[in-house]
Homo-oligomer: A and B are copies of this chain.
Amino acid sequence: MALVVQKYGGSSVANAERILHVARRVAERKRAGDDLVVTVSAMGDTTDELIELARQVTQRPSDREMDLLLSTGEIVTCTLLAMALRDLGVEASSFTGAQAGILTDRTHGRARILGVEPSRIRACVESGQVAIVAGFQGITPETDVTTLGRGGSDTTAVALAAGLQACCCEIYTDVEGVYTCDPRIEPNAQKLKEISYEEMLEMASQGSRVMHPRAVELGSIYNIPILVASSMKVAPGTLIHEVSAMEPSNKVRGISHDNNIAKVTVLGVPDKPGAAATIFERLGAANLTADTIVQNASAHHESTDLTFTVNSDDLQRALEVITPVVEEIHAAGCITDDQLGKVSIVGTGVLNTPGYAPRMFKALADAGINIELITTSEIRITCIIAQNRIADAVRILHRTFELEAPAVDAI
Contact = CB atoms under 8 A, between A and B. Distances in A.
B16 A53 contact: yes
Given A58-B86, A93-B64, A94-B65, A53 B75 contact: no
A232 interface: no
Contact of A53 (B20, B54, B80): B80
Contacts of A145: 96
Interface string A1-34: 0000000000000011001100100000000000
Contact of A57 (B19, B71, B99): B19
A79 interface: yes
Given A16-B57, A57-B20, A57-B80, A75 B86 contact: no
A84 interface: yes
Contacts of A408: none
B66 A79 contact: yes
Nearest to A56: B16
Contacts of A287: none
B62 A83 contact: yes
A246 B346 CA distance: 86
A58 B19 CA distance: 11
Contact of A61 (B56, B75, B83, B98): B83
A143 interface: yes
Q: What's the interface size class on A, roughly?
A: 35 or more
A350 B51 CA distance: 55
A69 interface: yes
A79 B56 contact: no
Q: For the complex, would chain A's binding face be called helix, strand, loop or mixed by DSSP majority?
A: helix
Contacts of A87: 57-60
List the number of copies, as a whole number.
2
A50 interface: yes
Contacts of A279: none
A79 B76 CA distance: 16
Contacts of A292: none
Contacts of A69: 75-76, 79-80, 83
Q: Which interface residue of A59, A71, A78, A80 has the most chain B CB atoms within 10 A?
A: A80
A290 B66 CA distance: 45
B93 A65 contact: yes
A65 B53 contact: no
Given A69-B75, A99-B143, A80 B62 contact: no
Nearest to A67: B79
A57 B92 CA distance: 14
A190 B175 CA distance: 65
Contacts of A61: 83
A68 B79 contact: yes
Q: Which interface residue of A57, A59, A60, A87 has the most chain B CB atoms within 10 A?
A: A57
Nearest to A86: B62
Nearest to A91: B62
B72 A54 contact: no
Interface in A129-187: 142-145
Contacts of A56: 15-16
Interface in A67-122: 68-69, 71-72, 75-76, 78-80, 82-84, 86-87, 93-94, 96, 98-99, 120
17 contacts: A20-B57, A53-B76, A54-B79, A54-B80, A54-B83, A57-B80, A57-B84, A58-B83, A58-B86, A60-B86, A60-B87, A68-B94, A69-B80, A71-B75, A72-B72, A98-B143, A99-B144
